[in-house]
Amino acid sequence: MEIFTVPNSDCMITKTHPRKSFFSRRDPSSAGHSDQIVAANFDYVFILMSLNMDFNLRRLERYLTASWNSNALPVVLLTKADLCEDFDDMLLQVEQIAAGVDIIPISSYTGYGLEELDKFLRPDVTIVFLGSSGTGKSTLVNALAKQQIMEVKNIREDDSKGRHTTSHRQMIRLNSGACVIDTPGMRELGIWYAGEGLSETFSDILPLLGKCKFSDCAHKTEPGCAIKEAIKEGIITQERWNSYLKLKKEARFAEDYESAIREKEAFFKSIAIKSKRLNKRRY
Ligand SMILES: Nc1nc2c(ncn2[C@@H]2O[C@H](COP(=O)(O)OP(=O)(O)O)[C@@H](O)[C@H]2O)c(=O)[nH]1
Ligand SMILES: [Mg+2]
């Protein structure tokens, strides 16, 4: 979008560009029937996860899936490296679930790792910051801008409870020319996604699908199950498989909201009928 700022501070949209990437959420005014764009035409999604209490691989998978699905490239920033003496093991764990993604440990306090971000901070590049509240998104914006643009509030590092300070999206142009969009976080933004991002996030699971002995394998007790075999051999973990199933279910829900609701209602109806029958038998 190109905006012309009129001297009395009003703005006028002069041109809209085709969308090459976007995040969307359900439009609250449409009762879930249509989506609303939260951010568009960004090149990278910086996913921030702190190396202290916020560290959560399953949550990271969720952020990665949404980022791949947006059509932009995700980059994982492991923040607050200054609070960690040794993060080699955590780095390894992230590498295992984020194949092909740049993973950069940083500290906005000490400046550690920030020079590694220079390659992304080019003019005409737009970056969205995503991550849970308190992971240091606004602090990083300030560190990159070398001035206090965003408000940062102290959190209790002992339990990592963040207090929300960024309650809206804000776009900032850095000296390098790159634009950064600071956000209050994915949950707060209400971003939902269809399933396309799953194949990139779970590129290790994808080749296993369809390899089971039975084409309708439920991956539970069936013999010749490729998934069970891969878990047994340590190719994937049980937690990662569970995470895949959970996100897939959510993605289906997002893609086909109405039929998912119908299915859910039919399920509860069948339970109600069954319990009615049971009650009849009892009395
Ligand atoms: N030790 C340490 N604390 C940090 C760092 N970056 C941010 N913080 C602190 O983390 C808290 C949350 O930061 P903020 O930028 O508001 O997080 P946001 O909610 O993701 O925007 C604040 O108390 C910051 O001072 C860092 O690199 N090291
Ligand atoms: Mg913030």
CA of 154 to the centre of ligand 1 (A): 7
pLDDT at position 2: 63
pLDDT at position 41: 92
Give the atom of ligand 1 at the shortest distance from the alpha carbon of 182.
Answer: 21
CA of 98 to the centre of ligand 1 (A): 23
Is 73 a residue whose pLDDT tops 50? yes
As annotated, the residues of the chain forming the CATH 3.40.50.300 domain(s) are 2-192
Ligand 1 atom 13: residue of nearest CA: 136
Pocket of ligand 1 (CB under 6 A): 79-80, 82-83, 107-109, 131, 133-139, 152-155, 162, 165-166
As annotated, the residues of the chain forming the CATH 1.10.40 domain(s) are 196-282
Q: What angle do CA 74, 75, 76 make, to 5 degrees?
A: 120
Ligand nearest to the backbone CA of 135:
1
Sign of CA dihedral 255, 230, 94, 99: negative
Rounded CA separation 80/279 (Å): 57
> What would the pLDDT profile of 210-265 be if each residue is shown by its tens digit?
999 999 999 988 999 999 999 999 999 999 999 999 888 877 776 665 565 566 66
What DSSP letter does each residue of 103-125 carry, written as one string?
EEE--TTT-TTGGGGTTT--TT-
Annotation: CATH topology of 2-192: Rossmann fold (3.40.50)
Q: Is 13 exposed, middle or buried (CB count within 10 Å of its CB: 0-12, 13-18, 19+)?
A: exposed
Ligand 1 atom 26: residue of nearest CA: 80
Q: pTM of this prediction? A: 0.79
Torsion of CA 132, 136, 137, 138, to 10 degrees: 130
Ligand nearest to the backbone CA of 170:
2
Structure tokens given for 222: 């069936």
pLDDT at position 154: 64
pLDDT at position 162: 46
pLDDT at position 49: 96
The CATH class for the domain spanning 196-282 reads mainly alpha
Choice between 124 and 152, residue whose per-residue pLDDT is larger: 124
